[in-house]
A and B are shown apart, each in its own frame.
Chain A
Amino acid sequence: DQQVKQNSPSLSVQEGRISILNCDYTNSMFDYFLWYKKYPAEGPTFLISISSIKDKNEDGRFTVFLNKSAKHLSLHIVPSQPGDSAVYFCAASAGSSGDKLTFGTGTRLAVRP
């Protein structure tokens, strides 16, 4: 049972344009959401997070939006840069389940120069 889903395995965007990566979840107990970026053969690095009490969090070029009623979150990258090309993972945790992180399957972003 995949509780965190990233339905788009890949995304290609022109440099300078907006990248929008999507994530859906099924567990209504999730109360903290994170995005990670991963290069091949390396560990994921944290990008940005959002608590369920908020609907938006912004950090530089990265903004995460949370729609609790739709159980959906998205990561916006503006403007996209070639160095953003990587696999992006969405993750979620529930305080009631010991804060373990549940990850989605990832979306591979390619930013074309």
Chain B
Amino acid sequence: DGGITQSPKYLFRKEGQNVTLSCEQNLNHDAMYWYRQDPGQGLRLIYYSQIVNDFQKGDIAEGYSVSREKKESFPLTVTSAQKNPTAFYLCASGFRNTEAFFGQGTRLTVV
């Protein structure tokens, strides 16, 4: 089945550690996105990529890094520089001017 897969579903990180969230899609979508959702807030864009080997910062990119080496994959690294990393992270993919399809999300908790 075609879809977008995020892993893991739950992730715990110690303070000061980097952690990488996986996002894979087999929908042949050009664009991929990373969003963050905090309680009571909307989805805020972290990074997005419209083509392989290219990506742009979103509204809250500080403390995060991404790569887009393959069309199917857009991993997000939450670095130790991110001061408040505990949140629900959502990955999405889509074509130009169409709806984006979301994964099931990864809940990251800093312990």
Contact = CB atoms under 8 A, between A and B. Distances in A.
Contacts, number: 63
Nearest to A104: B42
B104 A42 contact: yes
B50 A32 contact: no
Overall SS of chain B's interface: strand
Interface residues of A, number: 27
Contact of A102 (B45, B88, B103): B45
B42 A105 contact: yes
Contact of B42 (A42, A43, A51, A89): A89
Interface size range on B against A: 20 to 34
24 contacts: A4-B42, A6-B42, A41-B107, A42-B105, A43-B105, A44-B43, A44-B102, A45-B102, A46-B101, A91-B43, A95-B96, A98-B48, A98-B50, A99-B31, A100-B33, A100-B45, A100-B58, A101-B33, A101-B100, A102-B45, A104-B42, A105-B41, A105-B42, A106-B41
